[in-house]
């Protein structure tokens, strides 16, 4: 009897190709498509760019399942999604932190609620279309690793998944490039083989963060933009709309290029300075998720953004906190960001940045 595998089918080309691969290998596949946002939201707020979990994605998921000849379960988790992802996003902005909704969604929703539903249905494994690998070899037992395509690698976004779950997860796309994925979908005659990728946060389809925060009861106050000496250079529209390292959109004029280097939440100020002041080396993390014991004994590199190249670092772990020290300064280290630690291409652990020290 063939293994039963559930797959998160988003309606995009990646999960469609992953499902195709599993079927080609002889597995008994059941697809799970989650509804996280009401269709009314997309009627009121049209998509500015492609986002996931839209009504059109549901229609595509139905088409994919029909062509592949597999059962599709559409799961309504809107209330769970709001409580665990949307409310988290709003709270992070309220407290002046940088949210990571996709990271939290992968852990809590896709490989939390949705995976549990599939396993309770009798599925033996749960798969998705993410570009990553799960490794169980002589070096590490059950860790996430970077995919073949480093350009598309999504291990950063998956680093919050608990270790005990990894033996029940499959990432078929980890051994392929994006072009290979599209080719696989095209050979299966799936209409999504040319579908564009999702770009923005799914619950803000117009990508207007200011509107979204206002709609959800957060009305940031205008305040002053000052230099390091406290001299007023201009005004800002609300602290949540700016990030460390930002230069464009400040609306100030100065002899030199100035960047956001800090926030004063007590006095509602944005502090600007030269670019070198945005670079730091030392910070702490919280809510750590480790895949190995004694990670401080390994050669480590760290990413604080999914798009950056990993930077060599040292870590100090004690009973109260974990400190990370980059070997060279990195720009725009911000509380709330996710720091992911790697040994070569293996994910060793992750944690949310709690404090930037220097």
Given 52, 53, 102, 105, the catalytic residue: 105
Distance CA(65)–CA(141), nearest Å, equals: 34
CA distances from 353 to 12, 53, 257, 291 (A): 31, 28, 27, 18
Our answer to whether residue 202 is catalytic in this structure is yes
Question: What distance in Å separates the CA atoms of residue 29 and residue 358, rounded to the nearest whole number?
Answer: 50
In 3D space, the residue among 79, 32, 37, 78 whose CA is nearest the CA of residue 55 turns out to be 37
Among candidate residues 339, 287, 332, 336, the one with its CA nearest the CA of residue 97: 336
Mark whether 105 is an active-site residue.
Answer: yes
In whole angstroms, what is the distance from residue 87 CA to residue 220 CA? 17
Buried b (16+ CB within 10 A) or exposed e, 22-35: bbeeebbbbbbbbb
Contact between 224 and 232 under an 8 Å Cβ cutoff? The reply is: yes
Rg value, the chain, Cα = 22
Quick check: helix, strand or coil at residue 324? strand
Whether the CB-CB separation of 32 and 128 falls below 8 Å is answered with no
Measured CA distances, 20 to 12, 190, 297 (Å) = 12, 9, 41
Q: What's the order of all strands across the beta sheet hosting 259-264?
A: 232-236, 223-226, 269-273, 259-264
From 52, 202, 302, 313, the catalytic residue:
202
Identify the residue whose tokens are 């946060």.
201
- Taking the C-alpha atoms of residue 185 and residue 195, their distance in angstroms, rounded to an integer, is 11
Please give the positions annotated as active site. 105, 202
């Amino acid at each position: 009897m063939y293994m039963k595998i559930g797959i998160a089918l988003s309606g995009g080309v990646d999960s469609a190709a992953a499902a195709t691969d599993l079927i080609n290998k002889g597995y008994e596949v059941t697809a799970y498509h989650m509804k996280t946002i009401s269709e009314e939201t997309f009627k009121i707020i049209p998509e500015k760019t492609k986002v996931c979990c839209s009504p059109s994605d549901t229609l595509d998921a139905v088409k994919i399942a029909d062509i592949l000849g597999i059962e599709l379960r559409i799961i309504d988790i809107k209330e769970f999604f709001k409580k665990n992802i949307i409310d988290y996003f709003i709270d992070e902005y309220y407290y002046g932190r940088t949210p990571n909704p996709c990271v939290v969604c992968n852990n809590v929703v896709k490989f939390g609620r949705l995976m549990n539903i599939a396993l309770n249905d009798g599925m033996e494994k749960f798969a998705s279309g993410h570009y990553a690998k799960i490794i169980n070899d002589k070096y590490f037992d059950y860790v996430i690793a970077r995919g073949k395509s480093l350009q598309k690698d999504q291990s950063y976004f998956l680093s919050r998944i608990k270790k005990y779950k990894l033996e029940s997860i499959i990432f078929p796309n980890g051994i392929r490039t994006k072009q290979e994925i599209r080719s696989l979908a095209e050979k299966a005659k799936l209409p999504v083989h040319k579908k564009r990728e999702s770009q923005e946060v799914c619950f803000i389809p117009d990508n207007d963060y200011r509107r979204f925060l206002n709609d959800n009861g957060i009305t940031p106050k205008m305040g002053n933009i000052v230099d390091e000496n406290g001299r007023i250079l201009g005004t800002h529209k609300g602290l949540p709309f700016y990030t460390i390292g930002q230069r464009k959109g400040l609306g100030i004029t100065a002899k030199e290029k100035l960047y956001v280097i800090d926030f004063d939440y007590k006095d509602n100020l944005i502090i600007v300075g030269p670019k070198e002041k945005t670079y730091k080396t030392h910070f702490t993390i919280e809510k750590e998720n480790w895949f190995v014991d004694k990670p401080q004994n390994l050669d480590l590199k760290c990413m604080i953004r999914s798009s950056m190249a990993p930077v060599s670092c040292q870590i100090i772990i004690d009973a109260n906190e974990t400190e990370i020290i980059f070997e060279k300064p990195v720009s725009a280290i911000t509380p709330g960001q996710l720091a992911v630690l790697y040994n070569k291409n293996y994910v060793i652990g992750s944690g949310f940045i709690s404090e930037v020290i220097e």
